[in-house]
Amino acid sequence: MLNEEYGFDLTDMERDFNIIYTDPDTGKNKKQKIELVIFEKGKSHEQDHIVRVAIVQDEKIKENDKKKGVTITLENAFAAVDNCEFGLWTNGTDIKYLQKEDDAVGFDYTFSDLSDFPGFGEKLRRFKPWRSFT
């Protein structure tokens, strides 16, 4: 689907890629296996070049699971990969898309639910609120 529908090249994808992140509670480095990652086109398959993450869980895992749910798995992945702005989580039944955005200060992130994420070479359109002209 990420190749055919979203236009990402198969050579820019890798399965079961381990990322390293710092656990915010303990300050220790930990590994997390990401079922599918997409790298910048033509770049080496290194953590710094990841642009999308796809986390696939067993159908028994619910999206609010404290160890394998959407929030913990995607947010850990986003924290570990600076260039990655979009991710998806699925248990085969439910699918969730998130976008990572820098907060106003630039020290932390906020996460927005999306109905989908952009494909290769696409950008999300930002809608500007209507302004009244008086």
**Residues whose CB falls within 8 Å of the CB of residue 15, separated by 6 or more in sequence, listed in order:** 35, 36
**Global pTM value:** 0.82
- Phi/psi at 10 (nearest 5 deg)? -60, -30
- Euclidean distance between CA atoms 92 and 117, whole angstroms: 18
| Among the listed residues 63, 117, 65, 71, the one whose alpha carbon sits nearest the alpha carbon of residue 91 | 63
pLDDT of residue 65: 96
pLDDT of residue 55: 96
- At 36 the three-state DSSP class reads strand
What average pLDDT does range 35-53 have in this prediction? 96
pLDDT classification of 34: cutoffs 50, 70, 90: very high
Q: What ranges in the chain are assigned the alpha helix state H?
A: 70-80
